[in-house]
Amino acid sequence: MLVYRLLNFLLLPLTLTYIIWKALRHRQLRYLLQRLGLGLRGIPQHCVWLHCASVGEVNTALPLIAELHKRNPEQNFLITTNTPTGASIVIKQNQPYLYHAYLPFDWVLSVSLFITRLHPACLYVLETELWPNLFSLCDRAGVPITILNGRLSSKTTTTFKWVRQVLGQLLSKTKHIYARSEADRNAFIKLGATTDKVTQLGNLKYAPPSGSVNNKPDVDIAYVVVASTHDNEEEQIADLWFKLNRNELLVIAPRHPERRDDIIRQLSVLSDAIAVRSKNDPITTATRIYLLDTVGELNGWFSDARLVVMGGTFVPKGGHNLLEPAHFGKAVIFGPDMKNFEEEARLMLDNHAAIQVDSIDELGDKLCLLLDDAVALESLENNVKQASAKFAHIVADYADRLSQQQKQSV
């Protein structure tokens, strides 16, 4: 812990510079202040606090929050994130019981200011956000810490010995750890958690969404969604789409909407038949590609899509969660790189509920096959629905455990 705090102190100028740069880039004074533990006016005290690193974790937490609120309507909830994109998802929920703040950077002063101002009822940490000062100061202030959907990579469990020792000390400060798989449960125990503190409870990312923010304009034309794309994917897939000369509309939803201008420049070389959501461009019969460069609307587009292509899989980004479109009963095609979501990919493939391709060219073949063969598409969609239905209970399982845990604490 001493080594961590020393490194933290030595890196302070660089860290502060980065925080200021990011605040300027996103034009958010709130980002700067809250990362320093300030600017928290308007957030009530004694919230149930959930920390979610970014978009994926926020989407994972929202169905659980909805269920917990249904059971205890008087309770307020606070989600902290590290990123503005994660913040946008929270804010777009527009729920009177749900608040957002940026996580204070892991300095003693900033975390102390945050805890002292808000006096959170408890802290639920999604997945692997293990911050030494955050855990230590919450423990000292009597804020119980629970890890939800816990996962650990082999990289974490085999890192430097002093890092493993610090992480082991943090795990000793948790009230409980709910791991998403038996392998993750064993990894937490290997890192230092006691066996009685770790329970395998399933993967919250398999849970169906609690609802969607659907501001989707009326679309009279059939369309295909390409979700969570990264740099170079938009151009590759758009080029393929024009070569296929399909009648459907292609909707591209980049993982990072702030890349909009770069994406437009790349796609404009291919065609001028592009409409942009943030510009409120209309979708006409001449529109070939619709750039969905907004946050929090993707579920609405999933619901009416002919099928979905998952981005982050045709470039070395490790993929994204296939279960998000699957919960809408949509056939999903994904590329070769799913190293960050191997479990989800294997689940879908084993249930014949998704198709994996090895290249952009093979993607073109599968797109045409499914879009032109209603029987094949319906068969795949039925498999998707059957696979997704198996996980309808996960949110309730987590809510049961947390409600029981809260009663025992009173």
Q: How far apart, in whole angstroms, are the C-alpha atoms of residue 128 and residue 34?
A: 21
**Confidence label for 148 from pLDDT (cuts 50, 70 and 90):** very high
Q: In sequence order, what are the beta bridge partners of 77?
A: 48, 98
Say whether both 239 and 277 belong to one domain.
yes
Contact 252, 236 (CB under 8 A): no
Judge whether 286 lies within some domain: yes
What is the chain's length? 410
Say whether both 199 and 340 belong to one domain.
no
Judge whether 110 lies within some domain: yes
Say whether both 32 and 163 belong to one domain.
yes
Say whether both 152 and 253 belong to one domain.
no
Q: How far apart, in whole angstroms, are the C-alpha atoms of residue 26 and residue 48?
A: 27
CA distances from 128 to 178, 194, 307, 396 (A): 12, 17, 32, 22
pLDDT at residue 410 is higher than 60? no
Number of domains into which the chain is organized? 2
Say whether both 247 and 174 belong to one domain.
no
Judge whether 214 lies within some domain: no
Say whether both 167 and 314 belong to one domain.
no
Judge whether 21 lies within some domain: yes
CATH number at residue 237: 3.40.50.2000
**Confidence label for 396 from pLDDT (cuts 50, 70 and 90):** very high
Chain centroid, CA 110 distance in Å: 25
Predicted local distance difference test score (pLDDT) of residue 389:
86
Q: pLDDT by residue (tens digit) across 156-191?
A: 877 878 888 889 999 999 999 999 999 999 999 999
Tell me the residue range of the domain where 305 lies: 223-387
Judge whether 60 lies within some domain: yes
Q: pLDDT by residue (tens digit) across 10-55?
A: 898 999 999 999 999 989 999 999 999 999 999 999 999 999 998 8
- The HSE-up count of residue 100 (CA atoms within 13 Å, CB side) is 25
Q: How far apart, in whole angstroms, are the C-alpha atoms of residue 34 and residue 19?
A: 10
Predicted local distance difference test score (pLDDT) of residue 350:
95
Judge whether 268 lies within some domain: yes
Q: SS3 for 85?
A: helix
Judge whether 287 lies within some domain: yes
pLDDT at residue 212 is higher than 60? no
CATH number at residue 38: 3.40.50.11720
pLDDT at residue 153 is higher than 90? no
Say whether both 51 and 199 belong to one domain.
yes
Say whether both 168 and 254 belong to one domain.
no
Say whether both 186 and 290 belong to one domain.
no
Report strand pairing: 332-334 vs 355-356. parallel
Say whether both 199 and 95 belong to one domain.
yes
Say whether both 202 and 234 belong to one domain.
no
Judge whether 212 lies within some domain: no
Say whether both 104 and 10 belong to one domain.
yes
